[in-house]
């Protein structure tokens, strides 16, 4: 499985519309709040120009891109934690994702009611993120209560888990998201085990009016995002939905007509990759060429484990050709002849674009 991204936001922000465009599926997206109740899940191939280029040189029978999973959930409203709207229990559906995309409504859409008065992206960011923080606080407090009850019975002393929970609680109570970078080693593992949404990387999808594409980036949205240390992808959900169903040869003309800087879905996927610090490497095994996703700084034996656990266990060495060298040489054979294929050990840090041949023995 590749990486996963949860889609959050107010009702009628355009989450399902964007999900549809991303996955080219057609789930219900209607101009009434709480249209989505059960989550929608879709797996999307990651568009990858390098994979296309490599495949044009290697001519494999099968080309398998890496994937990203999107989960579209119900809309959150103010006081969801007190049961407003659909409540906040459904946030459990995105507790295990790697990243969160927060769709913020910037389009007027006269016939699409807003749950609050008027278009105000900053208010909406505040409302949704406050509910995320409160939902996480509930989890942290429940966990602390449970540990304290256990401690009374078993007389166990205060452990590292409680320390981490208290630290996280203080951050959430101050109304902030948690910075996982402030935790290291065992503490970081404990933090990850709580599956807090407020500790996941988050970026904004500003859903703007189809007529406003040329106005992006919007200064007040940029400022709010920057203040929170986050990136923004500007798209028009409506246009993306139409673009997704157009034949490939008509897409460029459509994007030019509306001043779209490339397909929004590609920008969303690229942003997800950037904030998660992901890289792609490639393999050719038998007749299949395949792209794989790992975090930057992953070592060769771990990367091999992504392909198959036997490959990690029995890892001997990796034969590596950098993407540019492969393309410059024109084939694996030519790259080898030129001495551009390197032999690396298990501790080699895999680089973005590497073409790997794993030698293993089990
Ligand atoms: N004009 C305009 N309408 C849009 C845009 N994006 C979405 N809409 C419309 O807004 C309405 C709500 O969109 P949805 O995608 O269902 O919104 P949602 O965030 O999934 O809403 P819930 O499931 O209720 O939480 C639909 O009628 C969409 O067609 C946009 O960029 N421009
Ligand atoms: Mg929806």
Per residue in 226-249, pLDDT (tens digit) is 999 999 999 999 999 999 888 889
Report the separation in Å between the CA atom of 209 and the middle of ligand 1, taken as the mean of its atom positions.
Answer: 11
- Model confidence at 224, in pLDDT bands (50, 70, 90)? very high
- Mean pLDDT, residues 20-32 taken together: 74
Asked whether the predicted pLDDT for residue 32 surpasses 80, the reply is: no
CA 13, CA 27: separation in Å to the nearest integer? Answer: 15
Other CB atoms closer than 10 Å to residue 18's CB: what's the count? 29
For tokens 């992901």, what's the residue?
278
Per-residue confidence (pLDDT) for residue 27, from 0 to 100: 63
- Mean pLDDT, residues 96-119 taken together: 91
- Model confidence at 47, in pLDDT bands (50, 70, 90)? confident
Q: How far is CA 31 from the centre of its chain?
A: 26
Paired with 100 in beta bridges are 6, 202
Per-residue confidence (pLDDT) for residue 1, from 0 to 100: 53
- Model confidence at 349, in pLDDT bands (50, 70, 90)? very high
CA 177, CA 171: separation in Å to the nearest integer? Answer: 7
Q: Are 351 and 310 in contact (CB under 8 A)?
A: no
Cα angle: 260, vertex 65, 244; to 5 degrees: 30
Report the separation in Å between the CA atom of 126 and the middle of ligand 2, taken as the mean of its atom positions.
Answer: 20
Asked whether the predicted pLDDT for residue 13 surpasses 70, the reply is: yes
- Mean pLDDT, residues 251-257 taken together: 91
Per-residue confidence (pLDDT) for residue 202, from 0 to 100: 96
| Residues having CB within 6 Å of any atom of ligand 1 | 9, 11-17, 29-31, 33-36, 74-75, 107, 109, 112, 207, 209-210, 236-238
Asked whether the predicted pLDDT for residue 109 surpasses 80, the reply is: yes
Per-residue confidence (pLDDT) for residue 22, from 0 to 100: 87
Residue whose Cα lies nearest atom 13 of ligand 1: it is 14
CA 213, CA 296: separation in Å to the nearest integer? Answer: 33
Per-residue confidence (pLDDT) for residue 38, from 0 to 100: 82
Shortest CA distance to 102 belongs to which of 295, 272, 328? Answer: 272
Other CB atoms closer than 10 Å to residue 264's CB: what's the count? 25
CA 211, CA 257: separation in Å to the nearest integer? Answer: 11
Q: What is the mean pLDDT of the chain?
A: 92
Element (H, E) at 232: strand 232-235
Report the separation in Å between the CA atom of 91 and the middle of ligand 2, taken as the mean of its atom positions.
Answer: 14
Asked whether the predicted pLDDT for residue 46 surpasses 70, the reply is: yes
Per-residue pLDDT tens for 142-153? Answer: 999 998 888 888
Q: Which of 115-119, 130-134, 350-354 has the lowest mean pLDDT?
A: 115-119
Return the ligand 1 atom nearest residue 241 CA: 6
CB within 8 Å of 39: residues ≥ 6 apart: 71, 72, 73, 74, 90, 93, 94
Per-residue pLDDT tens for 67-79? Answer: 889 999 999 999 9
State percent of the chain over pLDDT 90. Answer: 70
Ramachandran angles phi, psi of 344, nearest 5°: -125, 155
CB within 8 Å of 216: residues ≥ 6 apart: 206, 208, 234
Report the separation in Å between the CA atom of 75 and the middle of ligand 2, taken as the mean of its atom positions.
Answer: 7
Q: What secondary structure does DSSP assign to 277-341, as a single string?
A: TEEEEEEEETTEEEEEEEETT-BHHHHHHHH-HHHHHTEEEEEEE-HHHHHHHSSHHHHHHTT-P
CA 228, CA 207: separation in Å to the nearest integer? Answer: 18
Asked whether the predicted pLDDT for residue 195 surpasses 60, the reply is: yes
Measured from the alpha carbon of residue 86, the closest ligand is 1
Per-residue confidence (pLDDT) for residue 25, from 0 to 100: 62
Asked whether the predicted pLDDT for residue 203 surpasses 90, the reply is: yes
Shortest CA distance to 102 belongs to which of 2, 181, 226, 10? Answer: 10
Q: What secondary structure does DSSP assign to 192-226, as a single string?
A: HHTT-GGGS-EEEEEE--GGGGGGPSPHHHHHHHH
């Amino acid at each position: 499985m590749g990486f996963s991204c949860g889609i959050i936001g107010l009702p009628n922000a355009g989450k399902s519309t964007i999900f549809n465009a991303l996955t080219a599926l057609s789930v219900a997206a209607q101009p009434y709040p709480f249209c989505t109740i059960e989550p929608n899940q879709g797996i999307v191939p990651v568009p990858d120009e390098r994979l296309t280029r490599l495949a044009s040189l290697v001519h494999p029978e099968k080309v398998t891109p890496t994937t990203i999973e999107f989960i579209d959930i119900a809309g959150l409203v103010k006081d969801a934690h007190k049961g407003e709207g659909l409540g906040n229990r459904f946030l459990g559906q995105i507790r295990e994702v790697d990243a969160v995309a927060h769709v913020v409504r910037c389009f007027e859409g006269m016939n699409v009611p807003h749950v609050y008065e008027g278009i105000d992206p900053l208010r909406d960011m505040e409302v949704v993120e406050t509910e995320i923080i409160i939902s996480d606080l509930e989890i942290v407090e429940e966990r602390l209560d449970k540990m304290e009850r256990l401690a009374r019975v078993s007389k166990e002393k205060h452990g590292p888990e409680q320390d981490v929970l208290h630290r996280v609680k203080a951050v959430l109570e101050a109304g902030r998201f948690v910075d996982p970078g402030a935790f290291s080693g065992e503490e970081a593992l404990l933090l990850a085990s709580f599956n807090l949404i407020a500790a996941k990387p988050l970026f904004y999808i500003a859903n703007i009016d189809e007529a406003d594409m040329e106005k992006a980036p919007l200064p007040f949205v940029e400022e709010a995002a920057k203040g929170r240390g986050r990136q923004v992808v500007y798209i028009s959900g409506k246009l993306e939905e139409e673009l997704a169903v157009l034949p490939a040869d008509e897409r460029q003309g459509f994007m030019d007509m509306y001043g779209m800087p490339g397909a929004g879905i590609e920008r969303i996927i690229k942003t997800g990759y950037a904030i998660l610090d992901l890289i792609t490497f490639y393999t050719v095994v038998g007749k299949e060429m395949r792209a794989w996703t790992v975090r930057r700084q992953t070592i060769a034996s771990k990367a091999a484990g992504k392909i198959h656990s036997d490959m990690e266990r029995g890892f001997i060495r990796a034969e590596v050709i950098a993407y540019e060298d492969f393309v410059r040489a024109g084939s694996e054979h030519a790259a080898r002849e030129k001495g551009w294929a390197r032999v690396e050990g298990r501790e080699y840090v895999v680089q973005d674009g590497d073409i790997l041949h794993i030698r293993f023995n089990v």
